[in-house]
Every structure is written in structure tokens, then in C-alpha cells.
Structure 1
Amino acid sequence: MTDIAPILAPLVRRLLGGALPFALEAWDGSRVEPDEPVGARAATAGDRRPITVVVRSPDALRRILYAPGELGLARAHIAGEIDVDGDIFDLLAVRDVLGGSSDHVRVGPRLTDAAAIARTMREVGALGPPLPPPPEEARARGRRHSRRRDSTAVRHHYDVGNEFYRLVLGEAMTYSCAYWAPGVDSLEAAQAAKHELVCRKLGLTPGMRVLDIGCGWGSFVIHAAKHHGARALGVTLSPEQAARARQRVADEGLEDRVEIRVQDYRDLDEPEFPAIASVGMFEHVGEGQADTYAAAVTRLLAPGGRLLNHAISRANPDDTAGVDDRSFIGRYVFPDAALYEVGQVVTTLQRAGLEVRDVESLREHYARTLRAWVANLQDGWDEAQRLAGPARARTWRLYMAGSAVGFEAGRISVHQVVAVRPQAGGESGFPTTRDWLAEPVTGRV
């Protein structure tokens, strides 16, 4: 039979809208070299083997035909029908080479490509009916952002296995942007520096009550109690996270100061808190739910109290907030999620009666954090596949590497927004200068 790769190459060039920027290898072992290699590897490769996209099965073409756009490509990759041999960041550089910094670079085939895909499938003997999606795909059911559906969406992302997350996140067990303060060169220290920055912005003092909405594995509440003497309540929708967080609290001897609950923040019925942290949780609130979230945190915040909202944000205020349900991220990573532009976050909090006092971008910090997570995953690749399965490992590598590139290119950002609930008479209780950050934040752990 004729070699497969030379037959596939023209189709790939059409789908990419340009030259073939990587080597292409087919399931029969045939190979086509790149037309114009891209990425860091190509720039320094010399005689090294270029990055290669391997089409391991004709089923990949069926995925792409029946799910035009990035979803079909994602399904094929997660199912192991398309793989990458080489640096994942080099492959992702193709996006910027083809479309610059635009948010609207086409990823994957369009409906108008269907005829070309079908012709190629017929030529290589790959025609067939649609395949079921990989079992790792989330198909949320029920009323969007009901408590049951939100709980299911959160568990889809976080109940992948605590040991898998420990491998990726390191000993810090913190799943949000670290703070690479001057002199901080390890992921664990950078996460501790982020916790310290949050504590400083909240003005924590010994005995102060602090609420952590979306507490994850408990790293922030442990830091707040251990280093600032705070009394902390952390809530999460993930039972696996809560179990590990409680164990970590016990290991630190902080059970008298830290409580962990599996509870929806909307159901909290507590005395008002002088400090609330929401770090990496707002993304799960969802499109159209920001006002509900703002009303809830305002209700829980005492007059004069401070809220720190740390969340990934869209760069373009004209984009819709919701993550596309037919995208790779929407189906495999963050179902029902939403990213708001930071100006919309500020407006929403102030509409709820809070006063925004401080906004800080940590965009470059998140890019570096994600690259550290990808390095951890790559270093422990065999163990990651054993813990979470090959499909999950491929999913997390693609999503984290793609996110790192997005932060570096400025397509997405992350902001810490500090707001206060004004006291009677309009007093904010917030410092009028930034002297409160004069002392360098370090990564004490």
C-alpha cells in the first residue's frame, strides 16, 4: 500500500492554513519532514530530530471529521490516536507562528474542510461511523450552576487523585499561580510567597477569622494559621481535596485553628468574616453567576473586612465569559467555567457594595508556575500515567502547556483584586499607601 504520511501531509497543511511546521508520522511508520520547523527546538536543533506529530490510528481522522474544530483533535490526542514526540511547547508555538497573538487563531478543521477530510479518509481506508468520546470527557447534566451540577464539574477536575496532583504541584500542593518574588527560585517557596502575599493584603492578625472559598488541599489556611495565628475555615466541593487537607492540618497540629468542610460557599451560614480569600475559585463560578458570587461574599464579609479575589481573567473585555462547551478546555478540563475580564470583576464587586482598593496582575508569574508544573509532570511521566491513566496525563500536559503559552502571549491573565466592605460613614479601614507591602515578600514555608 502507498505510504500514509505523504497522503496525510496535504490535508494537515490545509487544516493549518500554511506550511507543515513539524514532522508527520503515520500509523504505518511512514514519515514526512517539516516544511518550515518552528519553536525553540527548531531554532537550536542542528542535526537533532524535529518535533513530530504521530498519527497512531486512522480513528484520529474519524474524530476530526465528526467533531470539527479543536474538540475532534482533542479527542484524538486524549485517546492516544494522535501524539507528540518532542517538546510540547514547540508544538504549541505553531499557533503563534500561524496567527500571531490573535485570540481568534483557528485551531483544528472547519466544517468547510469536511470534504477534504473525507477524501483523505477514503484514500487511506479510514472511513467509518463516529466514535464515542473518550470516557474522560465531561458531559455535564442538569441545570447549569445548580449546586449538584457545580459539584459534579468541580469533582471532574479535582478528584483525579491526590497523588497525581502531588506529583504535578509538588510538595506545596497549591493549584494556583505562585509568586516568584526576588530570590525565590523553587516552586514550593514561590507558592509560600503567594500565600504570604495574600495574608498581607488581607491584613491578617493573630486570632482573626479568615474564610478560604475553594480551599483546595488546605495550603493557604495552613499558612495563615501557622504564620499569622489566624483561625481559618476552608470550604471545597471536592471530597478528595478535603480529606487530604484535613490530614495536612492534623500533621501540622493546627486542628484547633483550622476547619475544612465540603460545602458550597452559597450555603455558608456563619458570622461575618473580617477576611475572605478566594484563590483560583472564581473561574468555576460560571457565566452569568458573577453577581451571585459577589452578593454571597459581600454577605459573608464584615464591615471593614477585606476580600481578596485571585482569578484567571480574559484579556479582551468584548469576549464572552463562558468557556465554550465544545472546546478542549470546556469538555476535558473546566466544564461550565468562565473567565471574566478584570474590569468586569471590579464592576461586579462594586455593584455588590464593595470598594475595590487594589488590583495586581500576576500574568508572568502564572506562566512560570505552569512551566514548573509541566516540568514536574514530564519528569514523572510514567508515574503520572500509572496514577491517573495515560488519557488524563495527556490532558493535563496539553492544558497546562497551552495555558503557559497563553499567559506568555498575553491572551489570558490573572489578577488579585482586593476589595473592602465599607463601614458606617464610608470608612474603608484600608491603608492609604502601599507601605504595607514595603517589606519584601519571601517564600517562607
Structure 2
Amino acid sequence: MGDKTTVAAVLEPLARGALGPHSPVRFEFWDGSAIEPEGACAGTIRIRSKDALRHMVWAPGELGIGRAYVSGLVDLDGDIFAILRALASTAPSDAALGLGAAWQAIGAARQLGALGRRPAPPPEEVRPLRGPLHTKRRDAAAISHHYDVGNDFYRLVLGPSMTYSCARFAAADDDGSGGANETVSLDDAQSAKHDLICRKLGLRPGMRLLDVGCGWGSMAIHAAATYGAQVVGVTISSAQVELARARVAEAGLAADVEIRLADYRDLRGEEFDAISSIGMFEHVGTKRAAEYFGTLRALLRPEGRLLNHAISSAGGSVMGRNSFVGRYVFPDGELVDVGEVALAMQRAGFEVRDVEALREHYALTLRAWVANLESAWDHAVSLTSAGRARIWRLYMAASALGFEDGGLGLHQVLGVVPDAQGRTGMPGTRRAWG
């Protein structure tokens, strides 16, 4: 690279081609040069080393960019939501690298001295999981990668509610028809979500509830403390079991709530009045959906209800090995079309009685989590690693935008098991849930 040739000069044609000529994002490089936006600036992407380009050459697309960001070779300075939205809105629809653009990128990397051996991925990246997809052993490894990274880190991100699923931002007297209420606090919104589920399940004192994928016990505690339910919570995360049991004891509910380290496939020979599955189905997989709902159906008494609360996408999607989320966040995760969820429940013997979409609420939830993380960044890094904190910031911000623009959905699907005469015990309207 000649003395008068800056990194920005070499990369500007490539950046303009990939993002369009009017991108409002500023790019700053390790030599101090920059690509300036033509108008208002949404934020700065700071590329600190040519090693960032090596990641992108060896893994074109989101995985290479993600690796560079997790490694600290790339920084996003400013409002991360504005930066990501600006990138998404200005990139041409055919922005995926074609052969010509790929050769242009390799040529630019060669000119900058950024070619070389494949760089090692950051240590936070999950290594290839062994065995067939969604076996008990492989699922346990995938869950451990995501959830067993420190309860204190999760407490910082999630807040006192310790609830890792979409909240419901509605006032106590709001039926939700007016949309998400941004003035409601995160903790109150999580409590409102748990209360909505309890009401949909028709919980009453003494009823037996199974909470599948119980996390840190928040739903179980709410159902026992507020509705007098007898609750069994199951999870395959040992870190979650440890804290959930401690929280149950602290709440004085040890006689009412049992937390088990168990896979849903191990549940046999018991009967429950209701089952909640909150943020669990994403880990089940399409091919296991029939087994999942069949197992839960066998555990419910006649007129028993199941509430399945899960992220969805139109047509479904798999978080593959070449995606950032698949490598760093939810290995083996799958998002199932809500229509397929309802169909699988019906085939298992449930009568589907209600479907409710809450995607705007998840966008608010994720923005609150990002705010928690960014406001205590140094502490978050000390609890886990800089790379892990970066993973969470990027994936939560991008996910929030996905829920805002409709690329991601969140649905609660309520099913009931009719008795031999077809009775369900269901109220005639949503308002009658109480």
C-alpha cells in the first residue's frame, strides 16, 4: 500500500457497492482514515485492525463480521439500533456478494495486507456439537452453551425479574388491545406476562402446573404465590436449577414449587392441570414438534390447558452453522411458523382456542435488556467476558429490530384437551379469563 493510499480510499468503492451510495453510517479505519456519510451520521463503525478484514474474507457475510466484532476488532460507536437499522435500510436488495464483488473484496484485502491464514474464531463461539440433531445429549450441550454463562450476568441483563422471554407491556387494567405501553417498567411487564399466562391457563388454588423450560423459576414463583398453584418446573440448565431453587426458597414457596434438572422427554406417569412452555419451543426443533406436544398432551388431564409461548417466523427458519446466532447465541435453535405450531398441537390432540401475537412487546423487552447491558458494561464484562457482552449487545439489538419490522414474531398459542364428551371448560371469551 503506497504512502498516499489510505485504507478508506481502498475500501470505499467496496463499501459503497455493498451498502449503497447514501448510507448514513461512518466507517473509521486503523490508519485514521474514514468513509464519511453524505448526510446525517447514524453512528460509526470503527475497524481497528486489518485482522477484521481477514475474518470477513474467510467467512463472508454475517459470520465473519460477527467474529470481528466479538473479537474486538470492530466497534459500533453510537446508537447500535440506529446503526443496524441504517445498514439494513440502505443496503441494496441484492447486497449478497456475487463473484465479481467477492474478487473485488479479495483484491482490496490483498492490497491492504489483510490476506493470510484463517484467523481463529473467538473462544465464545460454540464448537461443533456432536451427535444427531436434538438428541438429549446434544440439546444439553446447546443449552449449556447459552444459559450456563453466569447467573449474575443474566441478572444484570434481565433485571430483578430474571425472566428471559418476551414481557407484556400493558397496564394492569389493559386487555392489550391498545398495543404495547412503553411507560410500563420491565419488571411490571414481566409480571403482567406471567399473570396473563396464568389467566389463560385458568389456574386456581391447588391446581398442578408444569412449567417446561422454567428458567430461573419466575413463572413458577408467580403461579404459586399469586394463584396458589402447585408447580413443577423443569430445565436442563444446571445453573438455572441452582438459582431457581434458591429463589423459590427465598420466596417461602419450597412446599409449593419443585424445580427439577430434567429433560421434557423424561416426563412420564404424572398428571397436570396445566402446562406452560415459555421460550422453550425454540430449542425443540421442527422434527421433534410432534414428540414434544405428544409428550405434553399425555401429561394433561381432560380439560387441561397448554400455553406455548415462542418466537416464530413466517415459513420457519433454522439458526444454521453459518449464522451469527447459530454460532454464538442459540446453536441448533429453530423458529417454527405459528401455523405449523397450531397444526402440530392439533395433531397431538389439543384443541387450539387462542393465538395472540406479541412481537411489538418483544421489541420493547429487548431494548430494555440492551439498556441494562450498556448501562453496566464494565461490570457485565467482568462477570463473563468482553466477547460475551458483545455477543449479547449485537444479537439483542438486531433481534429487537427484527421484531419491530415483522421479520420475527412472538405468539402465544393456547390449547386445551377436550374430555370424552368434547367439553373443554374454556370460558366463552378472552375477557372471561379474569
TM-score bracket for the superposition, by shorter chain length: over 0.9
Instruction: State the 1:424 CA deviation.
Output: 0.7
Partner Cα distance (1:161, 1:336) in 2:
21
Does the aligned pair in 2 maintain the 1:359–1:417 contact within 8 Å?
A: yes
Counterpart AA for 1:372: A
Partner Cα distance (1:333, 1:353) in 2:
33
Does the aligned pair in 2 maintain the 1:272–1:301 contact within 8 Å?
A: yes
Give 1:92's aligned residue.
84
Counterpart AA for 1:182: A
Q: 1:13 aligns with which of 12, 16, 28?
A: 16
**1:113 aligned to 2:113?**
no
Instruction: State the 1:269 CA deviation.
Output: 2.0
Counterpart AA for 1:401: A
Q: 1:137 aligns with which of 77, 100, 125?
A: 125
Q: 1:53 aligns with which of 45, 48, 55?
A: 45
Counterpart AA for 1:425: Q
Give 1:288's aligned residue.
287
SS in 2 for 1:245: helix
**1:385 aligned to 2:388?**
no
Give 2:180's aligned residue.
none
Q: 1:80 aligns with which of 72, 75, 93?
A: 72
Counterpart AA for 2:15: V
Instruction: State the 1:426 CA deviation.
Output: 1.2
Aligned residues: 420
- Larger displacement relative to structure 2 (414-423 or 282-291): 282-291
Matches within 5 A, 1:255-404: 255-314=254-313, 316-317=314-315, 320-404=316-400
Instruction: State the 1:279 CA deviation.
Output: 0.4
SS in 1 for 2:287: coil
Identity %: 54
TM-score, normalized by length of structure 2? 0.93
Partner Cα distance (1:336, 1:110) in 2:
28
Give 2:176's aligned residue.
none
**1:150 aligned to 2:150?**
no
Deviations 1:37-85 (A, max 9, x none): 4xxxx4xxxxxxx511011111111111111221111111111111111
Partner Cα distance (1:436, 1:328) in 2:
43
Give 2:148's aligned residue.
159
Give 1:428's aligned residue.
424
TM-score, normalized by length of structure 1? 0.91
Consecutive unaligned residues in structure 2, runs of 5 or more:
173-182
Give 1:45's aligned residue.
none
Deviations 1:94-113 (A, max 9, x none): 2442369xxxx567645553
Deviations 1:371-405 (A, max 9, x none): 11111011011111111211111110111011110
SS in 1 for 2:303: strand
Query: What's the C-alpha RMSD, in Å, of the aligned pairs?
Result: 1.7
Partner Cα distance (1:108, 1:171) in 2:
41
Counterpart AA for 1:75: R
Closer/same/farther in 2, CA of residues 431 and 265 from structure 1, 3 Å limit: same
Partner Cα distance (1:390, 1:287) in 2:
34
Instruction: State the 1:324 CA deviation.
Output: 2.3
Give 2:212's aligned residue.
213
Does the aligned pair in 2 maintain the 1:287–1:337 contact within 8 Å?
A: no
Closer/same/farther in 2, CA of residues 15 and 415 from structure 1, 3 Å limit: same
Consecutive unaligned residues in structure 1, runs of 5 or more:
43-49, 440-445
Does the aligned pair in 2 maintain the 1:287–1:322 contact within 8 Å?
A: no
Deviations 1:346-370 (A, max 9, x none): 1110011110001111111111111
Partner Cα distance (2:430, 2:307) in 1:
16
Does the aligned pair in 1 maintain the 2:18–2:91 contact within 8 Å?
A: no
Give 1:30's aligned residue.
33
Does the aligned pair in 2 maintain the 1:22–1:35 contact within 8 Å?
A: no
